[in-house]
Structure 1
Amino acid sequence: MATTLGTSTNRARRLVRTALPAGFVLQVSGQARVVLVEGVTDAAVLTALLQGHPPVVAVGGKHLLPLAAALAGALGAAVDVVLDGDDGPAAGHRAREDSRRVREALAGTPVHVLPGDLEACLARWPAFLAALPAGLRKDPVAYARAAATARGTAAPPELAALLTALLSP
């Protein structure tokens, strides 16, 4: 794993202990395949839509995706990464550049890039919005409920394509 990250073994161990969310290792250990996402809202929505298969794990930020992918791979899991492209009008140059760097660091790992971000996709899904009484306010519990309610209705094309890709072996 240290070689994959281009760092020392001690630094890789320290990063795993201090940078990744508590319980990350337990969530990916023993899994044949995992989907890694930036944050808990992404994990809540995708877990509800995929019904937990494959498991979706939040890593605590875009910058941690390469570390998390290396660790999950070292633990024997096949890894898919879902990343916000941050290419919408609200995203700044720095966000777009961070996304580009993360994609480069994940070379060889299947990376699914959402245009803009997950909220931009969800904002174009009428059934999701109808099931979300408080609006798009980054509430993981409310998002998971709304996603479960909207599951089975016509999702925006980019989200439907992502779900198809993640459900295929």
Structure 2
Amino acid sequence: MIPWLVQALVGLLILVVIAFLLGNLVRNLSAAGLLLSWRWLGQPAGFDLSESVLPFNAELPYWRALLAGLANTLRAVLLGLVGSTLLGTLLGMASFSSNGLLWRLAAVYVEVIRNIPLLLQLVFWYFVVFLSLPNGTGALQLPGLVLAKSGLYGAGFEAGWLWQGPELINGVWHAPCGFRWSSRRCSPD
């Protein structure tokens, strides 16, 4: 009985502190001539999104930007879930393989990935791999492929085919033209 009473008192104390802080916020904003409202959601956002599942431009309101951000987040989550499920299933099957090399490779991969923090892995892929990719004439020449920051190029029949890869803009990878195969570069709208 005593632990429940202590928990209830601590919960009540937390609610009182939150109410005090919110009341103080409202009083100070009112004194400064500012009001808490949701009107800002209807105002034009004034910025563009470089890539979005939902159409968005700077004239649309903030609520639409938030909705586009939510859609982008859900797309990233869905792609991550599908990709990690496929990779995990393949590695799980490989770990039960009768082929010694295959299950050892799966075990090494799992142990290395699980023992390196995710943030460190992200920093590695960004700074060591993606930023070090050359562009233009310095692009990596592989048999039948050219790997550069701007995409993956392959030898076509008459002209070189291009997979328009993501662009690095302010430290974020974007695909303004979409991921598609084409015989020439696409230009962002």
Indicate the TM-score class for this superposition, using the shorter chain for normalisation: under 0.3
Structure with higher Rg: it is 2
Q: What TM-score do the two structures reach when normalised by structure 1?
A: 0.24
Q: What TM-score do the two structures reach when normalised by structure 2?
A: 0.22
The structure showing larger relative contact order (alpha-carbon pairs under 8 Å, at least 6 residues apart) is 1
